[in-house]
């Protein structure tokens, strides 16, 4: 199936569809959803490829748009660093082998790393065929106070994904993300 246009910022949706060979009826977990369409990594997956998923966003202002424009997904308006992911996944029958995980929240304040540390509790039970993880390492040169947080997020995230068998296929995409695959899936 040829897509009309991709919606992601750096080609994440194109990466996922290429790796998964335009898979239909997949499942995603999107941590840091923001706008339901614009610069969104899962919009095309849901609307053109019939995927379903869980969209997690801290900002309440997006909820009505999610309900209107992304009705096939579960919408969680909550701080991603405070979610009990194991409970969330079990209560929503998330498949043990998922197709895509996105973690795209603010790395500079430590939220991305804290969300990953919270999320790590499910990684021994759940696997994701593809992952895009925002580390924002480019920000280390913007302000001195960001440097340690961004470098720690960059280093620790790679250790965590490696520990669970993920292979980093693209590093520092646009200097802000790493992209992974899981060889089992």
Stretch 140-146: mean pLDDT: 59
**According to the model, what pLDDT value does residue 176 have?**
80
Q: How confident is residue 1, by pLDDT bands cut at 50, 70 and 90?
A: very low
Residues 6+ apart with CB under 8 A from 176: 10, 134, 135, 136, 137, 138
Q: How confident is residue 4, by pLDDT bands cut at 50, 70 and 90?
A: low
- Which residues does residue 55 pair with via DSSP β-bridges, in sequence order? 30, 75
**According to the model, what pLDDT value does residue 98 have?**
98
DSSP class of residue 35 equals S
Q: How confident is residue 6, by pLDDT bands cut at 50, 70 and 90?
A: confident
User: By three-state DSSP, how is residue 31 classified?
Assistant: strand
**According to the model, what pLDDT value does residue 110 have?**
74
Could you list the beta-strand ranges (E) of 18-134.
Answer: 27-31, 52-57, 74-77, 97-103, 127-134
């Amino acid at each position: 199936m040829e897509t009309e246009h991709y919606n992601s910022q750096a080609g994440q949706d194109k990466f996922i569809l290429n790796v998964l060979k335009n898979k239909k009826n997949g499942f995603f977990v999107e941590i840091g959803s923001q706008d339901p369409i614009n610069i969104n990594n899962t919009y095309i997956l849901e609307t053109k490829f019939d995927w379903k998923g869980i969209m997690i966003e801290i900002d309440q202002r997006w909820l009505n748009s999610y309900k209107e424009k992304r009705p096939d997904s579960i919408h969680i308006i909550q701080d991603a660093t405070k979610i009990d992911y194991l409970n969330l996944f079990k209560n929503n029958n998330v498949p043990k082998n998922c197709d895509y995980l996105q973690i795209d929240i603010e790395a500079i304040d430590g939220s991305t790393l804290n969300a990953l540390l919270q999320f790590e509790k499910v990684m021994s039970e759940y696997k994701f065929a593809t992952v895009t993880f925002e580390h924002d390492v480019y920000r280390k040169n913007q302000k001195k106070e960001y440097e340690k947080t961004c470098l720690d997020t960059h280093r620790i995230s790679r250790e965590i994904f490696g520990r669970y068998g993920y292979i980093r296929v693209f590093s520092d995409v646009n200097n802000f993300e790493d992209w992974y695959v899981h060889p089992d899936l």
